[in-house]
Amino acid sequence: MKRLLLASVAAVTLVSGGVAWAADMAVKAPPPPPPPPPAFSWSGFYVGANLGGGWITAPSADTFRGNVGVAGGDGQFIGGGQFGFNWQFSPYGVFGAEFFMDGFSNNNNNSIIFTGPLGNTFQASAQANWIATATARLGVTAPIWSNWLLYAKGGAGWLNSQAALTNLTMGGSVGTSQTRDGWVFGVGIEWAFAPNWTGKIEWQYLGLSDFTVGPGVIGDSLLVRNASVNTLTFGVNYLFNWGGGGYAPPVVGRY
């Protein structure tokens, strides 16, 4: 009995010591989690180029007999560039300003033929040379898709064009070359595909002020009202780091 008691005490002591020794062992820390993906900042100056199409609509009226038709409607090739500045004022909001200028292809002459009050046949033609816009931009992004920007823009615009009114019956022509101003609205989406490079697709609408071509050989004039230009362009921008733009380095915790 005495031996059994001593053996039990020894066994309990051995087990207790083993548990204490195991508890004193250092526990290995788990590996740190991977760093979060870098966030893209839209802040900074940018410059870029674009290509696309432009559609001009010009409702026209003879001053003697009223509406005679609508010139334009066919798509024309345009190309040019843009530059601007973005300020990302929150994780979700981006405000900016941009200047855009494109030239039209030289085969964009559009014309309409109509009959005047005395039976004379007239041809009215127009050709666009270039378009420019100066706009403010307001965009939205999000931390989970920081390299995407949806935006709307608005401001002022200008179209430089040539217009002519020709009397096909009697001969003689009168023309004008001028720059018309108007208002601009547009929307677009921009994608940062590299640390300082973005690509975008954008639609703009330019509503123009009225203008008159004439008077012609027998006093006819052509009044163009509510003329407008739609543009759809694909562009690429280079974002400089001067304003903190591009990918920010990830924040890595210390362990």
Percent of the chain with pLDDT over 90: 44
Tokens standing for 70? 């609508």
The answer to whether residue 125 is domain-embedded is: yes
The answer to whether residue 127 is domain-embedded is: yes
Q: How far apart, in whole angstroms, are the C-alpha atoms of residue 239 and residue 43?
A: 8
Rg of the chain taking only CA atoms, in angstroms: 35
67 has a pLDDT exceeding 70? no
Question: Which CATH number characterizes residue 223's domain?
Answer: 2.40.160
Query: Which of 15-29, 119-133, 171-185 bottoms out in mean pLDDT, i.e. has the lowest?
Result: 15-29
The answer to whether residue 8 is domain-embedded is: no
The identity of residue 225, as a single letter, is R
- Number of Cβ atoms within 10 Å of the Cβ of 180: 17
65 has a pLDDT exceeding 80? no
Q: Which domain holds residue 73?
A: 54-244
Are 209 and 189 within 8 A, CB to CB? no
Separation in Å, CA 36 to CA 194, 249, 255: 17, 10, 16
Q: Which of 84, 78, 69 is nearest to 124 (CA)?
A: 69
Are 95 and 86 within 8 A, CB to CB? yes
The answer to whether residue 23 is domain-embedded is: no
197-210 average pLDDT score: 94
The answer to whether residue 33 is domain-embedded is: no
216 has a pLDDT exceeding 80? no
The identity of residue 100, as a single letter, is F
The answer to whether residue 122 is domain-embedded is: yes
User: For residue 197, which phi and psi values (nearest 5 degrees)?
Assistant: -120, 135
Q: How many residues does the chain have?
A: 255
The more confidently predicted of residues 73 and 167 is 167
> Confidence class of residue 254 from pLDDT cuts 50, 70 and 90?
very low
155 has a pLDDT exceeding 80? yes
Return the pLDDT at 153. Answer: 98
The answer to whether residue 26 is domain-embedded is: no
207 has a pLDDT exceeding 90? yes
The total number of structural domains that make up the chain: 1
Query: Which of 66-70, 153-157, 195-199, 226-230 bottoms out in mean pLDDT, i.e. has the lowest?
Result: 66-70
For the entire predicted model, the pTM comes to: 0.76
Q: How far apart, in whole angstroms, are the C-alpha atoms of residue 126 and residue 154?
A: 26
Return the pLDDT at 125. Answer: 72
> Confidence class of residue 167 from pLDDT cuts 50, 70 and 90?
confident
Return the pLDDT at 252. Answer: 39
Tokens standing for 119? 């039976």
